[in-house]
Amino acid sequence: MTPVATPFFFYLLAGIMVIGGILVITRKNAVHSALALIVTLLAQAAVYLMLYAPFVAGVQIILYAGGIMVLFLFVIMLVSIERTVKERQFNKQWLVGIAAALALGGLFIAVYTKGKGIFPTHEMSGGEAQNTQIVGNLLYGQYMFPFEIASLLLLVAIIGAVVMAKRRL
Amino acid sequence: MTDQNTSLSPLDLEAPEKPFLDANELVINMGPQHPATHGVLRVILRLDGEKVLGLECVIGYLHRGVEKIAEARTYTMFNPYVDRMDYVAAVSNGLGYCETVEKLLGVEAPPRAQYIRVILTELNRVASHQLWLGTHALDIGAITPLFYTFRDREEILKIFEKYCGARLTTHAFRIGGLQYEAYDGFENDVRKFVSFVAPKIDEYEELLTTNRIWLERTKGVGVISAKDAIALGVTGPVLRASGVKWDLRKAQPYANYKNFDFDIPTGQNGDTYDRYLVRMAEFRQSLRIIQQAVDGIPEGPIMAKVPKVMKPPVGEVYHSIEAPKGELGYFIVSDGSTQPYRIRVRPPSFVNLQALDVMCRGAMVADVIAVIGTLDIVLGEVDR
Amino acid sequence: MISRFIEYIQSYLTSDQTPGAAGNMFWAFVYIILIFTGLSVAVIAMNWLERKILAHMQVRLGPMRVGPHGLLQPIADAIKLLLKEDIMPAEADGFVFWMAPLIVVLAAFTVFIVVPFGPTHAVTDMNIGILFMLGVSSLSVLGIVMAGWASNSHYPLIGALRSSAQMVSYEVAMGLAVVSVILMTSLETGTGTLSMIGIVRAQQTQGTWFIFKFFPLGLIAFFIFAVSMVAETNRAPFDLPEAESELTAGFHTEYSGFRWSLFFLAEYSAMIAVSSIAVTLWLGGWLRPFPNLLSGSTWTLVFSLFPGITLLLLAAMCFYSTVRMPKHPYFRIQTIGLGGFGAVLALIGLILFIPQVSLRVGDIYWFSMKVAAFMYLYIWYRGTFPRYRFDQLMKVGWKILLPMGLGILILTATVAMRSEIWKAISEALHRS
Amino acid sequence: MIASFKARYGSGIEALTHLGQNFIVVDQSLIPEILQILCHDEQFDYCVDVTAVHYPKREKQFDVIWVLYSFARNERIRVKTLIAENEAVATCSSIWPTANWLEREVFDMFGIKFDGHPDMKRILLPDGWKGHPLRKDYGILQQDNEWVQINLGIESGQ
């Protein structure tokens, strides 16, 4: 299917992501922040779709929006909201924050202007239809080792969580 | 969620339980309006997530001052009031009250009255257990047994209705015997009921006894040891499920229970499942008693000689019967007038409810519901 | 202009693709409308059926007053819910409270975009179809969590905690069962697929429903999915988030009127959605029973008669009940209504005997029948099972279904690759 | 049993039988000890009931009554003591945990305090209620109008 109004959707989604991101750090209510983050993640998933990466988009929805953020909310809900709203926000380091953001932004711009060549500007071969297979082949072929390392890391995290929780059960 | 007079009393939990990882302790107010508290019981739960750290019962929402009312009524006038305490086992309440006053007066109901009393009381026990089973299963999430038990309980209520005109608050007995002779075909109706309900009890068991989820939900839940049960004064099926073979019908026979042959079913583990099995066995034992009573029912008068104006001699008496829920005792003090000087009711539900705290320690919210169900409390009796 | 438009509309009719794949927005829109209304009708019918079937399991009659045999009861209920006052607790978080039912409903309805009611009867065919369904349906947890939290009340909060933990845990087991099916799709063609239509096609080419593939592996995977999907939709015996006897009504305790009805709608359409996944993945989707064994034009004709016969049977039941209605003036309208309803059913049944119609509708019929069987199972569970306790639920999910799912996945992969493995081993032996 | 009690405590204890039911009247000071012995040595391990009776004309206005039962002997006994208003009785909730609520009810209804009770407060009536209804001087129609007006917002509960 031919894409329709690509720039419009890109800027729409990018706008949603930026607004969502700002809401995440400005809302006092932690649940609202988490919900804003979910909106950002969903918009990101839509951007993946526009990049002909439906598999990554699907995984983004299942894992981030549907899984991780639910667990986030799960924890946040247990914290008394009245208390957190009343408490003063402790991170008053605006200047450092802005400096860090500017530095990161500068880095991005620098990378983009200097190394434009490394970004593929053409459509990926195989495209949408073969996306899942491509991801699978890459993960289990070229990037087998990092993939396994990541799973090992997760295993360590799981064992750590079990050890922490088991102390009381 | 909790109002200002909800100060949680310090509970004597062996080790004070702390919520995990400094999570906030959740105080939940279960009831007085709640689908599973069987009326207006209010339980204040302190929770860590799903785990119960402690609980406190708040009762009295149905307090009507029955004991005070009794002091302004004559002995006969107070008789209908006792039906309103444990309203699902009204006949048992009436039996206990009438027997206590008879004891005070020194009269005894004639044999025919005794037999009819036993039949009606045991029918009422079956009805009470049926109501318990239905609501208990409903609390645990099985909705179908409720309708089965209510269908069959209807037959008992029909017999009551034919006998005395009332279905629930029957006022079936009078001091000294019965007011009504059994209607024509009473024995036939009772016999028909016994043969009708016996297979139905198998039907209930089929739905629940070996149901895996039912086993998981009831085995090892709300365990109370025989020692604790006695110390907490728990009686009835709850005590028997803990392995104490004690039933007032056998231990201190009243009415004419000594004429009948029946067993006392007991359990071993004192958990919710054993209490379930004990009550299921009690269904069958009650049917046995009814069968024997209806076969042996003698002819004769139904009313002993009692004065029109009852003036029991000065004195006090305590008498108790095995109600469906446990030991139901009446303590009556007479000052020689037509009105009782003091009537004290020893309600089984009230005392049994006290064990809720012990039985729910360290349990989950869902277990609290199961335990409230298995204690088989009636708030009308708890609060009186 | 108009002729071009008509041509645009007609161009799809000869297509053998879904409207989404063919890029025909008009037909995609028509399909969305059809699925939306069909789903709403299905939920209404399901509501009536659940109450009736449950009632008959429990020796009672169920709704009998509104319309003949309570047929209009769901409509009366819907009107009541719409007219009811919409109450929002004063201390609730307004925006989140307002959003929650919308998210749940959106998630529940959106998944139907990829449900294949037939080879061409789907809005679109995504190549990540099953992933999309699982992903979007997992978003409904968000709505439930938001509802529970925004109510600012303890029972909904506990309900929300329960449901989020439950749905997240059972998604894992569910995913593993699904992956084993996706492995199966790659068997004969060499390339697997996540597309819903592709999965059914794979079953067609392999000549077996995946429930019977590598017996009993497919059956066990199906079993894992069938258990998880009940948990996933918060239905008995896993209905802890809305356990009435414990949490009054769980996460939607504070909801009333229209908002509550949205949760209700979402619950039932989620049930239909997960059943559709199960049907697509294991029970051959739209394929009629024994497409290979009983093939040939005679059998095709016999099976094409089924939709009409089913409706005629329903109509016959209506007529039988009409005759049995009490002969009393009070029941006259109801009797006429029941007869009329039967007549409508019979008419539809007769229309379905027209070969062209039955050819187009056959797929939808078989798919719906399979889903309906699942719906009956849901009701049956509710009538017979008590409710699990929370820790037991987690135990079933993590300690039984998850290891089973992993084992099935590994076994399926091993069995599927057995010739390659065998070849590798024999080569290694040969070399040494 | 009774004989040994008599021998030990002399006039502080009196054994009676009425209508075939045994009861002992015990001096208030001996109550904790007697109950302790009854429970642990005489196997009256089940406290059936704790209650009271109000005799406004007497000098010692209240009878407090314990109904005890022994599973081993299949026997009931009532223990009774007389106390005056504002006097407190020693709690037996440490001997029989079941007495906890029963004593609270006696307190609620009669205003008799139990010394050493872990949680001596009203049980059936609301916390702020005035008066103790089962006393004879508390009329049958009487109620705490003030409480009703404040908490229920109605003129009277009658």
* pLDDT of A84 over the 60 cut: no
Q: Which of B26, B147, B369 sits opposite C245 (nearest CB)?
A: B369
Q: What is the C-alpha to C-alpha distance for residues B348 and B356, in angstroms, rounded to an integer?
A: 13
C154-191 pLDDT, tens digit per residue, is 788 888 888 888 888 888 888 888 888 888 888 777 67
Range picked from B173-177, C91-95, C275-279 for highest mean pLDDT: C275-279
Gap from B371 CA to chain C (nearest CA, Å): 12
Q: How many domains does chain C have?
A: 2
Q: Do the Cβ atoms of D125 and B331 come within 8 Å?
A: no
Instruction: Check whether residue C132 and residue C277 sit in a common domain.
Output: yes
- C297 is a domain residue: no
- The answer to whether C197 and C125 have CB atoms below 8 angstroms apart is yes
Q: What is the C-alpha to C-alpha distance for residues B110 and B114, in angstroms, rounded to an integer?
A: 6
* pLDDT of B6 over the 50 cut: no
Instruction: Check whether residue C38 and residue C116 sit in a common domain.
Output: no
Q: What is the per-residue pLDDT for A164?
A: 81
Q: Which of C82, C112, C127 is the last residue of a domain?
A: C82
Residue D115, strand partner residues: D90
Q: Is B2 on the interface with C (CB under 8 A)?
A: no
Instruction: Check whether residue C273 and residue C226 sit in a common domain.
Output: yes
Instruction: Check whether residue C184 and residue C48 sit in a common domain.
Output: no
Q: What is the per-residue pLDDT for A116?
A: 72
Q: What is the per-residue pLDDT for A167?
A: 62
Torsion angle (degrees, nearest 10) of CA D5, D6, D7, D9: 80
Instruction: Check whether residue C31 and residue C119 sit in a common domain.
Output: no
Query: If pLDDT is split at 50, 70 and 90, which confidence band does A106 have?
Result: very high
Q: What is the per-residue pLDDT for A155?
A: 93
- C276 is a domain residue: yes
User: Of the candidates B58, B222, B357, B24, which has an alpha carbon nearest to the alpha carbon of residue C158?
Assistant: B24
- The answer to whether B244 and B274 have CB atoms below 8 angstroms apart is no
- Domain range for residue C283? 84-290+400-427
Instruction: Check whether residue C264 and residue C219 sit in a common domain.
Output: yes
Name all chains with 3 or more CB-CB pairs below 8 Å to chain C.
A, B
Q: What is the per-residue pLDDT for A83?
A: 57
Q: Which of B20, B24, B49 sits opposite A80 (nearest CB)?
A: B24
On whether the pTM is more than 0.90, the answer is no
CB contacts, 8 Å: D17 with chain B = none
Match 């007609």 to its residue by tokens: C10
Using DSSP's 3-state secondary structure scheme, residue A5 falls into coil
Q: Do the Cβ atoms of D140 and B63 come within 8 Å?
A: no
Instruction: Check whether residue C242 and residue C93 sit in a common domain.
Output: yes
C-alpha B233, offset from chain centre: 14
- The answer to whether B267 and B278 have CB atoms below 8 angstroms apart is yes
Q: Which of C54, C82, C110 is the last residue of a domain?
A: C82
- The answer to whether B146 and B134 have CB atoms below 8 angstroms apart is yes
Lowest mean pLDDT among B184-198, B203-217, B309-323, C349-363: C349-363
- C180 is a domain residue: yes
Contacting B with CB below 8 Å, chain C residues are: 54, 57-60, 153-155, 157-158, 161-162, 236-237, 239-240, 243-248, 382-392
Q: Is A32 on the interface with C (CB under 8 A)?
A: yes
Q: Which of C82, C104, C124 is the last residue of a domain?
A: C82
* pLDDT of B3 over the 60 cut: no
Mean pLDDT (chain C, rounded): 83
- H helix runs in C252-326, sequence order: 257-282, 297-324
A26-50 pLDDT, tens digit per residue, is 877 778 888 888 889 989 888 888 8
CB contacts, 8 Å: D46 with chain B = 230, 233
DSSP at C256 = -
CB contacts, 8 Å: C247 with chain B = 365
Q: What is the per-residue pLDDT for A152?
A: 94
Instruction: Check whether residue C106 and residue C58 sit in a common domain.
Output: no
- C254 is a domain residue: yes
Q: Is B32 on the interface with C (CB under 8 A)?
A: no
C-alpha B354, offset from chain centre: 15
Instruction: Check whether residue C38 and residue C175 sit in a common domain.
Output: no
Backbone angles phi, psi at D55, to 5 degrees: -120, 95
- C139 is a domain residue: yes
CB contacts, 8 Å: B68 with chain D = 133-134, 138, 140
Q: Beta strand B315-323 with B340-346: parallel, antiparallel or unpaired?
A: unpaired
Instruction: Check whether residue C256 and residue C268 sit in a common domain.
Output: yes
Instruction: Check whether residue C39 and residue C176 sit in a common domain.
Output: no
B347-359 pLDDT, tens digit per residue, is 898 888 888 888 8
D8-56 pLDDT, tens digit per residue, is 777 777 777 777 788 888 888 888 888 888 888 778 888 888 888 888 8
Q: Do the Cβ atoms of C58 and B148 come within 8 Å?
A: yes
DSSP line for C401-430: IHHHHHHHHHHHHHHHTHHHHHHHHHHHHH
CB contacts, 8 Å: C60 with chain B = 147
- The answer to whether B267 and B274 have CB atoms below 8 angstroms apart is yes
Mean pLDDT (chain B, rounded): 83
Instruction: Check whether residue C250 and residue C198 sit in a common domain.
Output: yes
Q: What is the per-residue pLDDT for B143?
A: 84
Q: Is C229 on the interface with A (CB under 8 A)?
A: no
- C315 is a domain residue: no
C-alpha C233, offset from chain centre: 10
ipTM, 2 dp: 0.77
C30-54 pLDDT, tens digit per residue, is 888 888 888 888 888 888 888 899 8
- C332 is a domain residue: no
Pick A158 or A53 by higher pLDDT.
A158
* pLDDT of B19 over the 60 cut: no
Q: Beta strand D75-83 with D13-18: parallel, antiparallel or unpaired?
A: unpaired
Q: Do the Cβ atoms of B36 and C153 come within 8 Å?
A: no
Pick A169 or C257 by higher pLDDT.
C257
Rg of chain A's alpha carbons, rounded to an integer? Answer: 20
DSSP at B297 = P
- C200 is a domain residue: yes
Does B touch C (3+ CB pairs < 8 Å)? yes
CB contacts, 8 Å: C142 with chain A = 38, 65-66, 69-70, 73
CB contacts, 8 Å: B49 with chain A = 78
Find the residue in A nearest to B17 (Cα).
A168
